[in-house]
A and B are shown apart, each in its own frame.
Chain A
Amino acid sequence: MNVHTYAWLAWLISGLVVLTTTRNPLIILLVDLILILFQVWITPPSKKFMGTTLRFGLSVLVLSTVLNMFISRFGQTILFNLPTNIPLLGGNYTLEALIYGLTNGLILIGMFTLFMILNQVVSVHALVRLIPQAFHPVAVVTTIALTFIPASQKQFQAIREAQAIRGQQLKKLRDWLPLIIPLLIGGLERAMQIAEAMTARGFTAQSDRKIPWFEKTLLPLGLIFILLGWILELSTQLPLSGGWMILAGLLLLLVLFFISGKRVNKSTYVQEAWSQISTWICLFALLLILAFVIKIPGHLVLAYEPYPLVQLPGFSILHGLLTLTLLTPIFLLGEVKHDQD
């Protein structure tokens, strides 16, 4: 897709802002539906999607709702109650707690789907390229970690099957133990193999240049400034008394990263081109963020609270329409090319 990774990140941030600035279940539900539609659009036809996603979504909803009903006993609409002499479980179970838990579940589904989409549209390498040069080893370790997840999932499946063919049925928690040990050991073995392969391909070849003394002092100096600034902020009532010191410390760290980055002798294979589509995606993302953080008409419905007595949530047509901007990439790109299986 001809969209810059930064544009995808802007899109992700706008989605996260929406999901974290409102508790209105109707708007969150709308966002979830938009994101699921988005994921259906980008998922190759050969991959299982709906079944897995629906199962996951349903289990998140049930879990967060039930958990909240157990934890929160507030609210006036009592659905049922258990005798109070039952430890932990006794007491009222309310509709308000159910709605609150349900909303939590919807937010989690939205966030999960956002990251799933990002994972599908942006390659691991493109994401890692955004990490500054000074953190090159961190960047590659992140790469490994990200490629490790699908590999571990495959391995987990293989081990589960391997245990089943030895007569192991997963009925009790204890039965899962034989799966964990080979998974951990296999994971470590695989990590060693990747590390070995990376070393053989020249990773972490250090330059012979010595680190100058002033560069060595930047890190401790920056940290001292931040720490002192923080202490000042906490101990004095004067506005911004320590803020300047924290800012100075952060600046020192930035200088350090810039200098260290220059020292890393490495090049990048692809420089992503910025496209007009990327500009539009960023603009719409900014619009969406502003709409949810600035008080525009209809903003009052965003702060929905089911406690103490549940009421029907309101709905802002303006905010509802603006959430549709999350579909901007679909409208601008038209179609998506799937990788062959």
Chain B
Amino acid sequence: MIRIDQLTYRYPGAEKDAIQINELLIPAGKFCLVIGESGSGKSTLLRLINGLVPHFTGGTLGGQISVAGLDPVKSGPQMMSRQVGFVFQEVENQFVVDIVEDEIAFSMEQAAIPRSEMQTRVKQILRKLNLENLKTRKVDSLSGGEIQRIAIAAALVLEPKILVLDEPTSQLDPLAAEEVLILLKQLQQDLGLTIVMSEQRLDRVLAYADMVVILSPDGQLREVGLPQAVIQKCALKPPIVQLAEKRGWFPVPLDVEQARKFNQDEKFESREKTSFEITSQALIEVQHVHVNLGKCVVLKDIDFSLHAQERLVLMGPNGAGKSTLLRTLLGLIAPNQGEILFKGKKIEFEHTAELSYNIGYLPQDPNALLFSETVQQELETTLRNHQIPVQTKSLEHLLTQLNIQTKASAYPRDLSTGEKQRVALGAVVVTHPEIIILDEPTRGLDQQTKNALLELLLEWNQNGKTILLVTHEVEFAAAFASRILILEDGQIISQGDPRKIMRTHPRYTTQIARLYPETDWLTLNDLPW
């Protein structure tokens, strides 16, 4: 279905090739997973399949690529749209019109499909994806999972042979992500679709793939083959694969279900339960807070404290009110009822700009924070806003901690996703706040960058920082949290020791915990081997 031969591609003005693939064949009807670090050329490869690269980007292309018997370079993305459906990473930015059915019909209108045929297809695709009730809804009123499904429907309505998806689950909570992956697998089987998907969260997607392509950081094809074979050569393996290697399980299981047949005879006793008690001083106290946005109730009776040197992780489905809660803590949203105290003082009379001296807050999109000419200036601006003198040594130390010391004079918006994230983090912690609050800091990061971030946050916590973060990544949460708080439908439904919480809420649990439900193990570090 997709054949690549001696393919090289270089972006305009770039010094080296973004992609160098000698040979790659993706057979028809396969679910192909493309993995690699940030900047390894995953998105470029996906865009080469439908001709967006080089048609949209320009640049220099060498070699050959054939997709469904066509040359995307000669045919162009408009013609390729009949063969290749494409779902972009920031899916909300790909919507052109405001109503769901109009959005799905957009590509058919461009292809001059007769009206009656369009109406039939819209009906069919909505039924197939179980979206019939959303037909006349406004796109901006949908949840994250619904938006992703609409984007898939819009990509499939032209009945393409190939569906390409660029990190489709990166913004979804575990359950919504699983629903999308199950849907894709069903579509592959029912329609005989060839699916090519890039993804960072291997623990989620590996079991769904029929073949895996690994790209090296310089854009070369490092490995290609069956997931069981290829994943062993991958530097960043999901926990279940790492466990299989340790225990010598073969063939390598790709998910918990496959791993269960290896451990069904193993019996383990739970370690002695450690009592969960917080003794440190409460820095932030949230007392019976209610928040309405318009007439929509977003937070209901939220009551919890954030204690000194704690590592509190806030989890919950898309749309549960997590980001609203964080913004309320910073005074960006005023509660309709209840109070928030910082070190015993009400924050309602303090401006966010003043609070930010003691509470560093990193929002979901780091781009909103970046506007200076250089990384160094980005950090200096925050200091100037707080009227703090700039100390070069202190700045250098922070840049080194964030591993962006070599980028000090670079333009922040030209950096990779992980680097931008760290610059934005630097810009909010440069005042050395007591508390650091992060909203989905792992979004869009590759595994290596996530690990580096985890280490940095743990180090800061050991040095006295109190950290509160929101994440959908259970493995990251398990490795980091000293306490977990679950927010659903605007209410705290559970909070406490991660071992207890992850056991009582299967939606928010790790692969290791699911494999050994009788123990209190969460991560590989908890295992006795």
- Residues of chain A touching chain B, judged by Cβ–Cβ distance below 8 Å, are 45-48, 123-125, 140, 143-144, 147, 150, 155, 158-159, 161-169, 178, 181-182, 185-186, 189-190, 193-206, 265-271, 339-341
Contact = CB atoms under 8 A, between A and B. Distances in A.
A199 B56 contact: yes
B112 A147 contact: no
Given A166-B427, A200-B50, A193 B107 contact: no
A270 B99 CA distance: 12
Q: Which of B55, B98, B115, B370 has the most CB of A within 10 A?
A: B98
Contact of A198 (B55, B96, B368, B431): B96
Interface of B: 50, 52, 55-56, 77-79, 81-82, 84, 86, 88, 90, 93-99, 101-102, 105-115, 118-119, 122, 136-138, 140-141, 154-155, 158, 294-296, 327, 330, 332, 351-354, 356-357, 360-361, 363, 365, 367-371, 381-382, 385-386, 413, 427-428, 431
Contacts of B367: 182, 186, 189
A47 B294 contact: yes
A265 B78 CA distance: 13
B295 A45 contact: yes
B393 to A, nearest CB: 21
A162 B367 CA distance: 9
B52 A196 contact: yes
Contact of B428 (A150, A165, A203): A165
8 contacts: A123-B102, A144-B96, A178-B381, A193-B88, A196-B56, A202-B81, A266-B110, A270-B102
A125 B99 contact: yes
Contact of A165 (B77, B110, B356): B356
A179 to B, nearest CB: 8
A46 B113 contact: no
A159 B158 contact: no
A182 B82 contact: no
Contact of A161 (B154, B363, B386): B363
B102 A159 contact: no
Given A46-B295, A147-B97, A167-B382, A268 B370 contact: no
B431 A340 contact: no
A123 B77 contact: no
Contact of B88 (A158, A164, A186, A196): A196
A125 B97 contact: yes
A30 to B, nearest CB: 29
A166 B90 CA distance: 25
A199 B330 CA distance: 40
Contact of B78 (A181, A202, A269): A202
Contact of B353 (A164, A204, A271): A164
A200 B81 contact: yes
Contacts of B327: 161
B385 A167 contact: yes
A202 B363 contact: no
A267 B77 contact: no
Given A161-B363, A162-B369, A165-B361, A201 B98 contact: no
A266 B55 contact: no
A340 B141 contact: yes
B356 A167 contact: yes
Contact of A269 (B52, B119, B295, B296): B119
